[in-house]
Every structure is written in C-alpha cells, then in structure tokens.
Amino acid sequence: MTGAVGSSAAVRRVGSPAAYWAAARPHTLPAAAVPVLVGTALALRDGLFAPLPALAALAGALLLQVGTNLVNDADDFERGADDARRLGPPRMVQSGLLGAAQVRRAAYLAFGAAALVGVYLIAHAGWPILLLGTASIAAGLAYTGGPWPLGYHGLGDLFVFLFFGLAAVCGTYFVQVGAVTATVVAAAAAVGALATAILVVNNLRDAETDCDAGKRTLVVLLGDRFGRAQYVALLAFAHAVPPLFWLLGTAGPGVLLGLLPLPFAFVLGRTVLAGESGGALNALLRDTARLELVFGVMFAAGLLL
C-alpha cells in the first residue's frame, strides 16, 4: 500500500529522520487504524470495551503497517518494481535517500516493537493472539520479500483483505471480548474490501512497471478491465454491509451512517471506469484512502447508535 510523502528539504537529506518517516508512509496509517476503530466500536456496543487492550491493538496495528511499508520500500527497489519510471510518490531507497539495509533495520525495529506489544496482548487474550501476531509479522515480511513474495504472485489483494480487514478487526474485538461473532467477521470484510480497493488503484497505476519487474499482481495477471471491475465491486460490497446489518436486525438504523460516503464512492467508481491511468491515478489513490477513513468512522459511529 502506498501514500504520499513530503517534499521538504528535511526529507531530501540523505539518511535524515524525515526520510525514515517518509519511508514509513504515514499517509497509509489510517488503513491500520480504521480496523481497530471498527473492532473497538463493536466491543463497546456489546458492553465489553477494554481500553488497554484496544490501545495495544492500535499500537500493534500501526507498527505492523510501518514495518510492512519499510520492507516494501527496500524490496520493491531491489526487485526492480521501483525505478526511474515510478509514477507514484517517491520511495526512499529508490530515491537514494536511504539504503536498503537501513530501511530493513528500521522495519525489524518496527516489527520487534509490535512483538513486544503482542506479549501483553498474548498475556491478556491467550494463544490465538500469538498465532495471529506471528502470522501478521511473517506476512508483512513476505509481502514483497523472501524467496516467494506474496505481492509478486497475485496474492497481494488477499493479503490486504485478510490482514487489514479480517485479522485486524477480529483481532481487536477478540482481545477485548475473547470471542469473535459472525457480525464482527462481516464488519471486518467491509473494512478489508476498502483497504483492498486502495491496493487495486496502486496496481492499476503501476501495471506496466510491475509487469516489467515480474510483479504479477492481479491487474497484471487478469488485465486492466478486471482491476477496474474489482475496484467497483469492492466499494459496492463495503457499502452493502451497513444496510444489511440494519435489515437483518444486527444493528439499528444508526448503522446507515456508513452510507454517508456512498456518493463519494460513486464518483470514485465512475472515475475508475472512465479509464484514468498512470500518474492520474495518484489522486484516486489518495481519495480511496480517504473513503476508507470516512467510511470507517461513520460505520463505527453508526454501530454505537
């Protein structure tokens, strides 16, 4: 997943703290926070809100996101996916502002800090969190790294859906409640769909350079038209969940607050179907991330009404 980085003089200094911050891609962090927000809203709705585990879940999610972003910065450059033709925001290793080894060390620190947070959550909620945390770190490292990187073999979309949707929402709920319900899984799927939509835009924009680098995303494997249809389907699925909750009696009419960003989603879907490509998709990438944030906030608020 990607995000904009600043263009200040501080960022342009080789090895500066600002360069590390840019490599962490702070604009992607809402994608890690939204699942925790929704999972916590569900726990609060059920009268089982636990503040310390919720805060720990948020810290762990943010650290895992940062670690994955840092690994991705180094690996994509070394595998040739990030080169001089890059259409998205600049990457720190590709720009020469940080070395790959430096970025990887920072990633390991982020994953290590996430593991420390996980020790508390494991003590609080038990062995399922050990399995979930281990899988999350392993997947973050294997997304673009290792001998068989997930993102290079058409599994990036599944990775994002599972870990930025199902795992994050269900894990947040579990550490507070000790169980997971079908309602939590459905809410998690809605969040995961929008997180995946962000990746789809990224893959549509980078299809040419990804193909040349051997990065077989679903867009590369199945084509541009598939990617555009996938994007619209993901947005439609996410926005179908709030009214479904209401119709099934899972939540009150307040949950329809989740439909407030629907007109914005419609505009984004129409833009994708119109065939925007290349660097023109950078704005759509930013707006899709904003859509996930607004949807998450409204959906969470609606669950509490």
- Give the bridge partners for 216, in sequence order: 153
**Taking a C-beta distance cutoff of 8 angstroms, is the pair 188, 169 a contact?**
yes
Instruction: Please indicate, yes or no, if residue 2 is contained in any of the structural domains.
Output: no
Instruction: Please indicate, yes or no, if residue 98 is contained in any of the structural domains.
Output: yes
Instruction: Please indicate, yes or no, if residue 12 is contained in any of the structural domains.
Output: no
Instruction: Please indicate, yes or no, if residue 8 is contained in any of the structural domains.
Output: no
Number of domains observed in the structure of the chain: 1
268: pLDDT strictly greater than 90: yes
86: pLDDT strictly greater than 80: no
Q: How far is CA 233 from the centre of its chain?
A: 17
pLDDT interval class at 108 (50, 70, 90)? very high
The string of pLDDT tens digits covering residues 114-128 is: 999 999 999 999 999
pLDDT interval class at 6 (50, 70, 90)? very low
Instruction: Please indicate, yes or no, if residue 241 is contained in any of the structural domains.
Output: yes
**Taking a C-beta distance cutoff of 8 angstroms, is the pair 187, 299 a contact?**
yes
CATH, residue 56 = 1.10.600
What is the identity of the amino acid at 41? A
For the entire predicted model, the pTM comes to 0.93
Residue 123 structural domain: 17-303
CB proximity list for 49: less than 8 A, separation 6 or greater: 40, 43, 176
**Taking a C-beta distance cutoff of 8 angstroms, is the pair 57, 172 a contact?**
yes
Instruction: Please indicate, yes or no, if residue 45 is contained in any of the structural domains.
Output: yes
What pLDDT sits at residue 3?
40
The string of pLDDT tens digits covering residues 216-259 is: 999 999 999 999 999 999 999 999 999 999 999 999 999 999 99
Instruction: Please indicate, yes or no, if residue 56 is contained in any of the structural domains.
Output: yes
The string of pLDDT tens digits covering residues 15-27 is: 889 999 999 999 8
Instruction: Please indicate, yes or no, if residue 185 is contained in any of the structural domains.
Output: yes
* Ordered DSSP codes for 195-223: HHHHHHHHHHHTHHHHHHTT-B-HHHHH-
**Taking a C-beta distance cutoff of 8 angstroms, is the pair 184, 170 a contact?**
yes
pLDDT interval class at 11 (50, 70, 90)? low
